[in-house]
Amino acid sequence: AGPAAAAIDLVLLDLNLPERSGKEVLAEMRRRAWSQPVIVFSGQLTAETEAELHPLGVSGFLAKPFRIAWSCRTNGSGINPFF
């Protein structure tokens, strides 16, 4: 990963993007050796989607709509999911 990636502490990634899927973006991040924690959010999260994304190192999932005070499920990566 380059210097730009090193400056990023956390990625919030929507699965439904206009030109690429969030899964494609996440796969590209991992191919480029970006190791930052990623929290995925979507209005259509399913158990199958979560299972597909876990091998790509997703740290947590957040269902839309959400409020400022939100919580998410994490995979034990040490992220405090409560804001």
Question: Residue 58's pLDDT is what?
Answer: 93
Specify whether the CB–CB gap between 22 and 40 falls below 8 A. yes
Are 16 and 43 in contact by the 8 Å Cβ rule? The answer is yes
pLDDT tens string 60-74: 888 888 765 545 555
Question: Tokens 């991040």 identify what position?
Answer: 29
Buried b (16+ CB within 10 A) or exposed e, 11-26: bebebeeeeeebbebb
The model's pTM is: 0.73
Residue 7: exposure state from Cβ atoms within 10 A (0-12, 13-18, ≥19): exposed
Instruction: Retrieve residue 17's tokens.
Output: 């993007």
pLDDT digits (tens, 9 = 90+) for 7-50: 888 999 999 989 999 999 999 999 999 989 999 989 888 889 88
